[in-house]
């Protein structure tokens, strides 16, 4: 028996939205050949297995595969480690060392766009207005559609929806990896309103990196039988 922490990542205004994330702080007790099945069973868009708390070494799984890096899992894991273990200044997923820190209520990570090294990358489609994005049905005819439109371009606010069907996810409530790639495309500070009410903050970092941040909250702690 082990514990599963469930965290909402990228909370929106008045604590709306937030993408659910499963985190096993003692992830090493779950064999690697079981992790994909565990992730699929839990049903979250991503699950994190912390293999070494002291070194902040983590593994990240979507229901269909292990991925070298992802945004909402690194933001959520950083927040949770600071809340229940100790704050860390770097996370170590397979992609590389991910700097992380807090500014008030917002937990930030700094990432290289090349770390979003997935079997499928987003097909970014800009729509004329927010209403067109909101009216989209859940997409299943392409591996990963990322639909977006400006809410207020001068203020850097945009609306998005993400459909990463390749990963076994119909619609992602808040996609940090896609936000990294949007940051690379736009090269300016933006606030993304995604899904039912999540909010992702994005800004350029040093040396062509992208910084992604958001607020988090603990939903529950479950007992999980290994």
For the stretch 156-201, pLDDT in tens is 999 999 999 999 999 999 999 999 999 999 999 999 999 999 999 9
My answer on whether 23 and 93 are in the same domain is yes
Q: In this predicted model, what pLDDT tens digit does every residue of 93-121 receive, in sequence order? A: 999 999 999 999 999 999 999 999 999 99
Q: Is residue 116 part of a domain?
A: no
| N residues, the chain | 226
Q: Tell me the residue range of the domain where 153 lies.
A: 123-211
Q: Is residue 118 part of a domain?
A: no
Q: Is residue 15 part of a domain?
A: yes
Q: Is residue 219 part of a domain?
A: yes
My answer on whether 185 and 220 are in the same domain is no
Q: For residue 188, what is the domain's CATH number?
A: 3.10.310.10
My answer on whether 154 and 197 are in the same domain is yes
Q: Is residue 164 part of a domain?
A: yes
My answer on whether 105 and 144 are in the same domain is no
My answer on whether 7 and 93 are in the same domain is yes
My answer on whether 219 and 197 are in the same domain is no
pLDDT given at position 141: 84
As a whole number, mean pLDDT of residues 85-100 equals: 97
Q: Is residue 90 part of a domain?
A: yes
Smallest CA-to-CA distance from 91 within 50, 61, 35, 63 is with: 50
Q: Is residue 183 part of a domain?
A: yes
pTM comes to 0.96
Q: Is residue 117 part of a domain?
A: no
For residue 141, count CB atoms less than 10 angstroms from its CB and return exposed for 0-12, middle for 13-18, buried for 19 or more.
Answer: exposed
My answer on whether 21 and 96 are in the same domain is yes
Smallest CA-to-CA distance from 126 within 160, 167, 168, 90 is with: 160
My answer on whether 96 and 188 are in the same domain is no
My answer on whether 18 and 104 are in the same domain is yes
My answer on whether 28 and 61 are in the same domain is yes
Q: Count of domains in the chain?
A: 2
Which helix (H) or strand (E) segment is 202 a member of?
A: strand 198-204
My answer on whether 132 and 203 are in the same domain is yes
My answer on whether 219 and 201 are in the same domain is no
CA distance 93 to 76: 13
CA distance 118 to 12: 27
Q: In this predicted model, what pLDDT tens digit does every residue of 114-130 receive, in sequence order? A: 999 999 999 999 999 99
Q: Would you place residue 1 in the very low, low, confident or very high pLDDT band (cuts 50, 70, 90)? A: confident
């Amino acid at each position: 028996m082990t514990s599963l922490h469930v965290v909402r990542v990228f909370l929106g205004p008045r604590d709306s939205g937030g993408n659910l994330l499963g985190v096993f702080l003692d992830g090493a007790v779950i064999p690697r050949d079981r992790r994909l099945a565990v992730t699929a069973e839990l049903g979250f868009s991503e699950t994190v297995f912390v293999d070494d708390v002291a070194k902040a070494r983590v593994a990240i799984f979507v229901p269909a595969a292990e991925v070298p890096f992802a945004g909402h899992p690194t933001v959520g894991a950083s927040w949770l480690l600071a809340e229940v273990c100790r704050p860390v200044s770097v996370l170590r997923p397979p992609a590389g060392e991910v700097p992380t820190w807090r500014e008030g209520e917002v937990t930030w990570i700094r990432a290289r766009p090349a770390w979003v090294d997935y079997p499928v990358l987003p097909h970014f489609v800009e729509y004329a207005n927010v209403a067109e994005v909101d009216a989209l049905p859940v997409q299943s005819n392409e591996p990963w559609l990322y639909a977006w439109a400006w809410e207020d371009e001068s203020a850097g606010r945009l609306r998005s929806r993400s459909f990463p069907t390749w990963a076994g996810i119909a619609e992602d409530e808040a996609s940090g990896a896609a936000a990294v790639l949007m940051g690379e495309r736009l090269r300016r500070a933006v606030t993304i309103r995604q899904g039912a009410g999540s909010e992702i903050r994005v800004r350029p970092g040093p040396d062509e990196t992208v910084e992604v941040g958001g607020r988090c909250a603990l939903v529950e702690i479950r007992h999980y039988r290994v």
